[in-house]
Chain A
């Protein structure tokens, strides 16, 4: 790769050279083609391009390795971590389309935003055979799915919604308990607090089964890899549902996203990632081919201990697990 020598600011008061190189390297990494498995240019080339010492270039590289964007493989080179790349690229793209949240505003690291066109997604989703057949629909607490919750109630479905971050468990909205006039409110996160029924572990187990799971995302790949906001709530929710026998192979898993959130990156799911069957954008419905296996249950040894005490149900489930 032969690029023109980069101009770095060297006047008094300019940011340190290694930081400027880190910014340039970040841009280079984010622009790296999805399908390209080549490493970044070797250190020598970067030294020449930036007119900087090996130590300075290395310091910049190490900063991006710590941030998870680059991965240094001894003897092979420095590679772009695709998952982080996707997350950062889409994070930037969301700035143009995200609608603000009542608490988080446009901090899209903290929540999944609604976008213009989500109503069309809900329409398309309601035409899916899996939706028609579903009695119970699990819908994540993402703003892009707000109206879908109200529509699902209108369609006679029981709607399960986790509280934000699963901190206070899962809330049930039942069409016979939420009259039509209350459904728009009940579909919001504030309304869920007032109109929903927060389920105990026993009550959740009694739900019987989840036929369809609908989630938002930070990004998805067209092969069905789901990339959340970095907090892996979906994977935990899926782990809990499958551990309790409420979801499994028969459950359809669909994501509702804006077209800019769909990328063609050849990512593979990580160990606990829940792959998607269906991706719905305002432009249409994409069948992913369900090429990846689904995780099942909670792997207690792998669970971060702090989650057991902050995520609802887990402490009680772990207790039952060990009592068995």
Chain B
């Protein structure tokens, strides 16, 4: 746990989400277990569609949050490939080819249940060497003015960014968007930890906030921190370990 009180922020924001957030089909109001959709996520989604990075991207990485469901729907409609992880990265990465989704099932495919139905499990070996991502979108529990996000507290997005970087899918041109409710923006400058991945854009139903000079470095998996954590034996982590060992030979 950090010393700067992110846990207090998180709890205050969960209280706010009881008013503006939407429950999950499995976890109900347990905001420690999922990233909630919120009132106004349609307006926030519409703001993302205005970003140049969205318009230029043929493929978008979108985290499996409820707040990003509408954006997945827009991606499928726009013919963009959706790269995602399964919930908690437990079954690795999925890729959704919009051509696989019948027109009347677009809304279905955009849900987490639908992703499981229409997307294809995709190992890192198949993603490696592909066109780098122009845009990555994630939801979060809370985010500071300087783009430091704190999600469910599991560090999934930081790890996703690290893995995607390790296989060459991120560059200095990659932009990260955090979609949140206004109540989730903490008007403070937080000091990030080395594994924190600052974002370029904070998008809410009412604001599009650009974060300049965040000083983000290319991601890398911090292998020394993994032993004993829930991340240690995730399938893509196991796979990446093997891929990097092969490369080292």
Contact = CB atoms under 8 A, between A and B. Distances in A.
Interface in B1-57: 22-28, 34
A163 B34 CA distance: 17
Given A188-B108, A189-B25, A100 B113 contact: no
Contacts of A111: 26
Contact of A105 (B23, B90, B111, B115): B90
Interface in B72-116: 86-88, 90-91, 104-105, 107-108, 111-116
A313 to B, nearest CB: 15
Contact of A189 (B22, B90, B104, B113): B113
B87 A168 contact: no
Q: Find the residue from B27, B91, B113 having the highest chain A CB count within 10 A.
A: B113
Contacts of A184: 105, 108
Contacts of A194: 107
Contacts of A163: 25, 28
A102 B108 contact: no
A167 interface: yes
Q: Find the residue from A101, A165, A167, A185 having the highest chain B CB count within 10 A.
A: A185
A102 B28 contact: no
Contacts of A102: 86-87, 111-113, 115-116
B158 to A, nearest CB: 21
A76 to B, nearest CB: 43
Contacts of A164: 25-26, 28
A181 B26 contact: no
A103 B27 contact: yes
A190 B105 contact: no
Nearest to A193: B25
A119 to B, nearest CB: 14
A104 interface: yes
A185 B111 contact: yes
A192 interface: yes
Given A168-B28, A184-B105, A184-B108, A103 B23 contact: no
A191 interface: yes
Interface string B127-151: 0000000000000000000000000
* Interface band, chain B: 20 to 34
A276 B198 CA distance: 55
Contact of A103 (B22, B26, B114): B26
* Interface band, chain A: 20 to 34
B114 A185 contact: yes
B192 to A, nearest CB: 29
A191 B108 contact: yes
Contacts of A104: 26
Nearest to B103: A181
Nearest to A181: B104
A101 B25 CA distance: 12
A181 B26 CA distance: 24
Interface string B198-217: 00000000000000000000
Given A100-B91, A102-B87, A193-B23, A188 B28 contact: no
Given A164-B26, A168-B28, A193-B25, A185 B116 contact: no
Interface in A151-210: 163-165, 167-168, 181-182, 184-185, 188-194
A185 B107 contact: yes
A164 B28 CA distance: 8
Given A164-B28, A167-B28, A193-B22, A103 B111 contact: no
A101 B23 CA distance: 18
Given A102-B112, A103-B87, A103-B112, A192 B25 contact: yes
Contacts of B26: 101, 103-104, 111, 164, 189
B22 A185 contact: no
Interface in A96-116: 100-105, 111
B70 to A, nearest CB: 11
Contact of B111 (A100, A165, A181, A191): A191
Contacts of B22: 193
A111 B116 CA distance: 16
Given A103-B34, A191-B108, 10 more contacts: A100-B91, A101-B26, A101-B116, A102-B111, A103-B24, A104-B26, A165-B28, A185-B114, A188-B111, A189-B26
* 10 closest cross-chain pairs (CB), A and B: A190-B111, A185-B108, A189-B25, A188-B113, A102-B112, A190-B113, A181-B104, A103-B26, A105-B90, A167-B28
26 contacts: A100-B91, A100-B116, A101-B26, A101-B116, A102-B86, A102-B115, A103-B25, A103-B27, A105-B87, A105-B88, A105-B91, A168-B28, A182-B107, A185-B105, A185-B107, A185-B111, A185-B114, A188-B108, A188-B111, A189-B113, A190-B112, A191-B108, A191-B111, A193-B22, A193-B24, A194-B107
